[in-house]
Amino acid sequence: MQMTERGLLALAGHEGVVPAPYRDSTGTWTFGVGHTAAAGPPDPTEMPRGMPADLDAGIYEAFRVFRADLATYEAEVRVAVTVPLTPHEFDALVSFHYNTGGIARASLTRHLNAGDREAAARAFLNWRRPAEIIPRREAERDLFRHGRYPGGPIPVWSADPAGRVDFSRPVRRLAESEALAFLQPAKPDAPVTPTPTGWFARLAAFFSNLIRRA
């Protein structure tokens, strides 16, 4: 099981996008959609500081790293939860785990595995620090319980070379269709079919005419 597109958009909306290295609320160097060195490469401390010259390229890189990170979090949720899940329940749990890293030890997981979904839903609110995170926990609980996905544009924030994020005004707001386009893996270039030239072109045309006359 993997996150749905709506789940990906909801998670990206909770996290926001910063296409440059920045310091989070704990002082940890972070990049993109909540990526830290603990999740694997790239290491934000080794990335060029400040906003990229090409904003679209920076956003795409942030989402590329986001998708790579998600594979680990999705796998950890699949291991921790031993009961069948609906897609919206899985989306809520991955969002919770992406933010807290606590799926293996959370009481909500114990309640869920014991078959008590209502107790599991209430237990989302056990993880409520700092206070600013409470609206997210409530949204994840409602998604888990009711399949209610949050909507709206995804903010892209700027960060200066010192890693300070300017939350006064996003530099861009991504509509859901734009965000989904950035989330798509890059497609390899189509192979180029060589065009016949010279005597080979004349020979190919000769045989093509023979086939049409047959």
CATH code assigned at 37: 1.10.530.40
* Dist. CA 18–CA 12, nearest whole Å: 11
Alpha helices per DSSP H over 81-197: 87-100, 107-113, 117-123, 134-146, 176-183
The stretches in the chain having pLDDT less than 50 are 188-197, 199-201, 203-204, 207, 211
State phi, psi for 92 to the nearest 5 degrees: -65, -40
Distance of CA 141 to the CA centre of its chain: 19
Q: What is d(CA 10, CA 91) in angstroms, rounded to the nearest whole number?
A: 9
Token pair recorded at residue 93? 């749990």
The confidence score (pLDDT) of residue 25 equals 84
Model pLDDT, residue 187 = 53
pLDDT of residue 92: 98
The catalytically annotated residue of 5, 15, 132, 176 is: 15
Buried b (16+ CB within 10 A) or exposed e, 82-104: eeebeebbbbbbbbbbbbeeebe
- pLDDT number for residue 195: 45
Number of independent structural domains in the chain:
1
Marked catalytic residue, from 5, 24, 61, 89? 24
By the 8 A CB rule, do 147 and 129 touch?
no
The whole-number pLDDT of residue 192 equals 43
Concerning whether 24 is annotated as a catalytic residue, the answer is yes
> Is 43 part of the annotated catalytic residue set?
no
Question: Which pLDDT does position 173 carry in this prediction?
Answer: 96
Closest among 192, 204, 172, 179 to 12, alpha carbons compared: 179
The pLDDT score that the predictor gives to residue 79 is: 98
Residue 10 domain boundaries:
5-212
Confidence at residue 35, expressed as pLDDT on a 0 to 100 scale: 95
* pLDDT score recorded for residue 11: 96
pTM: 0.83
